[in-house]
């Protein structure tokens, strides 16, 4: 019989190990067609005529169980971007910002009826990608990173109800200051929330609906806050996971940024897809 605490969580967080798995390795392919975006005041606008953008990413990922209830993941992204602006069209990309993440489950979903599963999340992202100011392409399609270290911490709560799994995750991220052409700048603290509901079928396949929101405070230049420089992005996602034999897992999904003024800020919006295949070990 399918267990929501295992299959359902796989649909919500693709590279996460199920409770009976000791390791996993594979690849995640992502793609997004940009349809518009939000300005600094939160007004939504459609993609201007004569412009287009497609963002792609291939992530090589591996996860290993440690200390029984912990797991460590390494994600190496390769980023590719295509932009067209009034007759100028170009591709660019390269290695993105590598991420090392950890998770420790103090309790598991379904373990207790009065307590949910509680997990601590920690991560560090390294500035291995090309920062925006270092881009050499005319449309900056070869920018693949933010140019700073990012430290992330958070907590995940989840509980199973029969075949259903409910997940609530909250994260906060801080980026290190940096100097760009003599200007000292610091990105604002980033806050992220995710709510998901998954359903596990008897064959261990699963499906999940998720709502996510990322908000970022205003950046600072030379110690002074820059008004309307913060960012925000809402996302609605539908994903699924399908076991293939005893050692493989296929996962996929679609996501969409609702084009509503006031929901986003200084971000592009579009529709995207995710497809991944993982080899697991028990």
User: For 135-189, how does the pLDDT look when each residue is reduced to its tens digit (9 = 90+)?
Assistant: 899 999 999 999 999 999 999 999 999 899 999 999 999 999 998 888 899 999 9
Instruction: Name the pLDDT band for 4 (thresholds 50, 70, 90).
Output: low
pLDDT, residue 31, reads: 96
Q: Check if the beta carbon of residue 12 is closer than 8 Å to that of residue 208.
A: yes
11: pLDDT strictly greater than 70: no
pLDDT, residue 1, reads: 38
Residue, of 12 and 96, whose pLDDT is higher: 96
249-272 per-position pLDDT tens digit: 999 999 999 999 999 999 999 999
Residue, of 179 and 43, whose pLDDT is higher: 43
The angle subtended at Cα 13 by Cα 7 and Cα 19, nearest 5°, is 45
- Bridge partners for 100 per DSSP: 74, 124
Residue range 87-97: mean pLDDT, rounded? 93
Bridge-based pairing state of the strands 23-38 and 51-66: antiparallel
275: pLDDT strictly greater than 70: yes
- Bridge partners for 124 per DSSP: 100, 151
Instruction: Name the pLDDT band for 9 (thresholds 50, 70, 90).
Output: low
DSSP string, 106-171: EE-TTT-SSS-EEEEEEEEE---S--GGG--STT-TT--S-SS-EEEEEEEEEEEETTEEEEEEEE
Q: What share of the chain is helix, strand, coil (3-state, %, to 5)?
A: 5, 60, 35
Instruction: Name the pLDDT band for 19 (thresholds 50, 70, 90).
Output: confident
Q: How many residues does the chain have?
A: 282
The mean predicted confidence, pLDDT, of the chain is: 91
pLDDT, residue 6, reads: 52
Instruction: Name the pLDDT band for 12 (thresholds 50, 70, 90).
Output: low
Residue range 42-52: mean pLDDT, rounded? 93
List of domains in the chain: 4-281 (2.40.160.40)
119: pLDDT strictly greater than 80: yes
246: pLDDT strictly greater than 90: no
97: pLDDT strictly greater than 90: yes
pLDDT, residue 114, reads: 86
Residue range 228-255: mean pLDDT, rounded? 93
7: pLDDT strictly greater than 60: no
**pLDDT > 70 fraction of the chain, expressed in percent and rounded:** 95
Distance from C-alpha of 137 to C-alpha of 133, rounded to nearest angstrom: 11
3-state secondary structure 81-104: EEEEECCEEEEEEEECCCEEEEEE
pLDDT, residue 2, reads: 46
């Amino acid at each position: 019989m399918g267990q929501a605490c295992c299959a359902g969580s796989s649909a919500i967080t693709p590279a996460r190990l199920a409770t009976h798995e000791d390791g996993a390795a594979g690849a995640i392919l992502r793609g997004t067609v940009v349809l518009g975006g939000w300005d600094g005041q939160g007004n939504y606008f459609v993609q201007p005529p004569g412009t287009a953008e497609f963002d792609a990413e291939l992530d090589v990922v591996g996860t290993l169980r440690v200390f029984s209830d912990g797991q460590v993941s390494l994600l190496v992204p390769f980023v590719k971007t295509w932009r067209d602006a009034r007759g100028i069209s170009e591709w660019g990309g390269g290695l993105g910002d590598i991420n090392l993440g950890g998770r420790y489950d103090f309790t598991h979903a379904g373990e207790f009826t009065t307590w949910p599963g509680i997990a601590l999340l920690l991560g560090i992202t390294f500035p291995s990608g090309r920062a925006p100011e270092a881009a050499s392409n005319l449309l900056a399609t070869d920018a693949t990173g933010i140019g700073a270290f990012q430290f992330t911490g958070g907590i995940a709560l989840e509980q199973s109800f029969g075949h259903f799994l409910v997940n609530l995750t909250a994260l906060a991220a801080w980026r290190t200051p940096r100097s760009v052409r003599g200007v000292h700048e610091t990105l604002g603290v980033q806050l992220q929330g995710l709510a998901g509901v998954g359903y596990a079928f008897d064959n261990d396949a699963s499906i999940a609906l998720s709502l996510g929101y990322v908000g970022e405070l205003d950046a600072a230049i030379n110690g002074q806050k820059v008004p309307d420089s913060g960012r925000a992005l809402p996302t609605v996602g539908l994903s699924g996971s399908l076991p293939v034999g005893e050692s493989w897992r296929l996962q996929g999904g679609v996501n969409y940024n609702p084009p509503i003024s006031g929901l986003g800020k200084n971000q592009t919006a579009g529709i995207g897809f995710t497809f991944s295949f993982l080899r697991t070990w028990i």
